[in-house]
Chains A and B, each alone.
Chain A
Amino acid sequence: QAVVTQEPSLTVSPEGSVTLTCGSSTGGVTSGHYPFWFQQKPGQAPRPLIFDTTDRHSWTPARFSGSLLGDRAALTLSGAQPEDEADYYCSLSYGGARVFGGGTKLTVL
């Protein structure tokens, strides 16, 4: 089974910007992996932010954006808020089977 890799932890200053990335052990990430991004806070279910590489859900703040960056999927947060401190997970599709990354713990400090 493929392994999806993420940065274990990142720190961003309030109002700052940060990019989280998501890689695949099978090679470069493409739109055909349909990258998804989720936010999870302690004790809560994951909350979907981005689907199909770049698309936001209706509830996703505009400060979150998804893209492909080189051979990885990326989630960029521009103008970080204290409430953005959370774990972030990406997920890639491999022929319909989903694999989640190990998650990135984002600290806003």
Chain B
Amino acid sequence: QVQLVQSGAEVKKPGASVRLSCKAFGYTFGIHWVRQAPGQSLEWMGWISVVTGHTKYSQNFQGRVTFTGDSSANTAYMELSSLRSEDTAVYYCARDPAAPGEFDYWGQGTQVTVSS
């Protein structure tokens, strides 16, 4: 059984950066990052292969988000910079198994609150 465990809630001031982690228990080729602002839809932020380090970013976050991975720890990281109040959201990671049916397992989500 695959499980994704995300880091804990964060409170940040505008202009700061936040770094979240997503540790996979079980095989994972890649990790998608998806966020959900309060009462809003899901928003895809991008993807990283924890095996190869390759990344793909949503145009909406290009230049402000960085994905990194640690293959030995089966962990992906997402750093979002220049935070603003609109970045307040729950941030999820989801698995890419490099097979049909990605997004099959999701982390529990990390609440990020940006407030002065």
Say whether A and B bind each other: yes
A-B contact count (CB 8 A): 57
CB interface residues, A 68-95, toward B, < 8 Å:
89, 91
Evaluate contact between B100 and A55: CB separation under 8 angstroms.
Answer: yes
In the complex, chain A residues whose CB is within 8 Å of the CB of B56: 96-97
Evaluate contact between A55 and B106: CB separation under 8 angstroms.
Answer: no
Q: Please give me the residue from chain B that is nearest to A45 by CB atom.
A: B106
Which one of B15-23, B36-44, B66-74, B76-84 contacts A?
Answer: B36-44
Quote the shortest CB–CB distance from B9 to chain A (angstroms). Answer: 14
Across the interface, B60 reaches (CB within 8 A) one of A1, A38, A102, namely A1
The answer, yes or no, to whether A99 is at the interface (CB within 8 Å) is yes
Evaluate contact between A45 and B92: CB separation under 8 angstroms.
Answer: yes
CB interface residues, A 3-57, toward B, < 8 Å:
36, 38, 40, 45-48, 51-52, 55, 57
Chain A residues engaging chain B, CB cutoff 8 angstroms: 1, 36, 38, 40, 45-48, 51-52, 55, 57, 89, 91, 96-103
- List 12 A-B residue pairs with CB atoms under 8 Å apart, sorted by A's residue number: A46-B34, A46-B94, A48-B103, A51-B100, A51-B102, A51-B103, A96-B47, A96-B56, A98-B44, A100-B41, A100-B42, A100-B43
